[in-house]
């Protein structure tokens, strides 16, 4: 209707030879539209190209539906119908031929649509603020907000805590878990009711033992895992300590169970001596595990006697420190992966401990030095180059992360915690202890066994330093060097 109203004159179009409403150029609407579209396709290359109606319609015409190609102006604020208009009865309406509801993520997985309640809105605002402060990527923020809305469905109260087990259950539905846990924990809304991994592991280890013996071992485990506020008081022990002592003592405990013993109260000193390995580290570790169990239970008055008390077994056999093969060391230092090269450089040149690497902060690296708790380390030039490459990669890969630690990865970049206990060894491909041993041995050979220098440089005690100094004249190591 717009073309006819603006061009009421009817004439013969010189292009298509049809009687139509023609414009001032005496061309019809279809021929003019064909030329206009052809000019728009090349407008970026030639912004001032004139309208060539004849050339545009030379090879045919493309029909079009009215007003579909019209440029849309900025949307004007729409005024909705009044109350009277909305309440006015409608005589007829157009029925839908097809269901037009868009398929959502929840509907594809058979989940209820996330509710948008006051509770959900409050949690979503917390998530957005947390994501902005910690520099989350847009994809991480989107997945976390969706998981939080699904989690908030059915919850009541704006400040009630959310159980961690409910959050972990979202993983079975394909939803992200770790970012939600971090946000709820930072906001003080997380009720961590998860069972620690060490508890489930210990339950599996004592399965099959007699009931009385199992109860006694659980008492020992509780004291080590949770500590004790009653006399004798004690602090909780590390999970690795509980694991090693359990594994050291478990073969003897199962042997006593198979022989018919129901409780540790029945074990005598002679039975302990008979069950011990003959010599070496197996004997020392077994006694260490049994001494921890019987000593703890005796101190807390679960047992009457301690059959392992004052049982002499000798000292642990110390592992001989050995140098690293040069091929493996060079491969780690010259790796294309910037984080592997940086970690290997810090270990090979300065012999850092594993925990020192995990807890390094960005502020600890300044002025070409590492500022550690045990002192300041002047970085070697190869280490500075690899650290600069890693910092460049870190800033490009995670430009907005709020994690203050020097070394991060995909999971820790969205939080503020350190890397895991096994991440360094897996990323470098060589145990951290092997790097440190190699560096200390190199310093021992360079200083001709200067114990004071070794202790000051690597934070060792005299006894630990002597293990490395004793290798100075070791015939096996000398033969290996000459070979």
The secondary structure of 384-451 as a DSSP string is HHHHHHHHHHHHHHSTT----BSS--TTGGGSSPPPPTTHHHHHHSS-HHHHHHHHHHHHHHHHTS-H
Give mean pLDDT, residues 418-444. Answer: 88
Residue 74: pLDDT band (50, 70, 90) is low
Domain extent listing, the chain:
2-56, 111-191, 198-299, 326-469
CA distance 365 to 236: 33
- Name the percent of the chain in helix, strand, coil, to the closest 5: 50, 5, 45
Query: Contact, 303 vs 264, CB < 8 A?
Result: yes
Residue 361: pLDDT band (50, 70, 90) is very high
- Judged by average pLDDT, the poorest of 12-21, 45-54, 76-85 is 76-85
Paired tokens of 138 = 């847009």
- For the chain, what is the mean pLDDT? 82
Quote the Cα angle for 299-304-306, to 5°.
65
Cβ-based neighbours of 108, under 8 Å, separated by 6 or more: none
Q: How many residues does the chain have?
A: 483
CA distance 40 to 36: 6
Predicted pLDDT at 66: 65
DSSP, res 60 = -
Residue 481 has pLDDT above 60, yes or no: no
Predicted pLDDT at 85: 53
Residue 157: pLDDT band (50, 70, 90) is very low
Give mean pLDDT, residues 59-73. Answer: 67
CATH superfamily of 326-469: Intergrase catalytic core (1.10.443.10)
Residue 482: pLDDT band (50, 70, 90) is very low
- 286-290 contacts: CB < 8 A, separation 24 or more? 286/248, 286/249, 286/251, 286/252, 287/311, 287/313, 288/245, 288/248, 289/244, 289/245, 289/246, 289/247, 289/248, 289/249, 289/250, 289/252, 290/248, 290/249, 290/252
Residue 2: pLDDT band (50, 70, 90) is confident
Residue 1 has pLDDT above 80, yes or no: no
pLDDT digits (tens, 9 = 90+) for 397-413: 888 888 899 999 888 88
pLDDT digits (tens, 9 = 90+) for 268-316: 999 988 888 887 788 888 999 999 999 999 999 998 889 988 887 766 6
Predicted pLDDT at 383: 92
The percentage of the chain sitting over the pLDDT mark of 90, rounded to a whole number, equals 23
Paired tokens of 212 = 């009385």
Query: Contact, 91 vs 73, CB < 8 A?
Result: no
Give mean pLDDT, residues 51-62. Answer: 80
Predicted pLDDT at 299: 92
Predicted pLDDT at 480: 42
- 35-44 contacts: CB < 8 A, separation 24 or more? 37/62, 37/69
Residue 172: pLDDT band (50, 70, 90) is confident
- pTM, whole model, 2 decimals? 0.62
Give the best-scoring range by mean pLDDT among 142-151, 243-252, 437-446, 460-469: 243-252
């Amino acid at each position: 209707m717009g073309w006819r109203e603006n061009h009421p004159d009817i004439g013969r179009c010189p292009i298509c030879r049809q009687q139509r409403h023609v414009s001032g150029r005496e061309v019809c609407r279809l021929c003019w539209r064909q030329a206009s579209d052809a000019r728009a396709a090349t407008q970026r290359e030639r912004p001032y190209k004139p309208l060539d109606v004849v050339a545009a319609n030379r090879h045919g015409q493309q029909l079009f539906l009215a007003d579909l190609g019209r440029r849309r102006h900025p949307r004007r604020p729409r005024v909705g119908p009044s109350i009277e208009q909305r309440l006015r009865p409608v005589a007829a309406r157009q029925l839908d031929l097809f269901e037009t509801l868009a398929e959502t993520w929840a509907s594809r997985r058979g989940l209820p649509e996330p509710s948008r309640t006051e509770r959900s809105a409050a949690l979503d605002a917390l998530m957005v603020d947390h994501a902005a402060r910690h520099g989350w990527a847009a994809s991480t923020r989107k997945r976390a907000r969706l998981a939080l809305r699904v989690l908030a469905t059915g919850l009541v109260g704006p400040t009630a805590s959310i159980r961690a087990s409910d959050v972990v259950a979202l993983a079975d539905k394909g939803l992200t878990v770790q970012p939600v846990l971090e946000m709820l924990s930072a906001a003080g809304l997380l009720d961590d009711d998860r069972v620690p991994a060490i508890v489930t592991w210990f339950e599996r280890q004592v399965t099959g033992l007699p009931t009385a013996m199992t109860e006694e071992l659980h008492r020992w485990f509780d004291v080590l895992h949770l500590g004790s506020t009653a006399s004798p008081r004690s602090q909780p022990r590390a999970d690795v300590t509980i694991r090693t002592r359990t594994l050291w003592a478990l073969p003897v405990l199962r042997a006593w169970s198979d022989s018919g013993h129901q409780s540790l109260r029945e074990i005598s000193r002679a039975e302990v001596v008979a069950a011990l390995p003959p010599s070496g580290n197996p004997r020392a570790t077994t006694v260490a595990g049994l001494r921890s169990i019987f000593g703890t239970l005796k101190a807390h008055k679960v047992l009457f006697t301690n059959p392992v008390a004052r049982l002499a077994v000798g000292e642990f056999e110390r592992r001989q420190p050995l140098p690293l093969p040069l091929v493996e060391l060079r491969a780690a230092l010259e790796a294309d992966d910037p984080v592997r090269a940086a970690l290997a450089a810090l270990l090979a040149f300065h012999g850092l401990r594993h925990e020192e690497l995990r807890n390094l902060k960005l502020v600890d690296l300044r002025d070409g030095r590492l500022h550690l708790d045990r002192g300041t380390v002047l970085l070697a030039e190869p280490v500075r180059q690899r650290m600069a490459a890693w910092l460049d990669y870190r800033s490009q890969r995670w430009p907005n992360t709020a994690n203050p630690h020097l070394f991060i990865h995909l999971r820790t970049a969205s939080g503020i915690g350190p890397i895991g206990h096994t991440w360094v060894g897996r990323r470098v491909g060589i145990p951290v202890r092997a790097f440190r041993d190699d560096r200390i041995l190199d310093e021992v050979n360079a200083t001709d066994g200067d114990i004071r220098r070794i202790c000051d440089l690597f934070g060792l005690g005299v006894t630990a330093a002597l293990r490395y100094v004793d290798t100075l004249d070791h015939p096996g190591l000398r033969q290996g060097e000459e070979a």
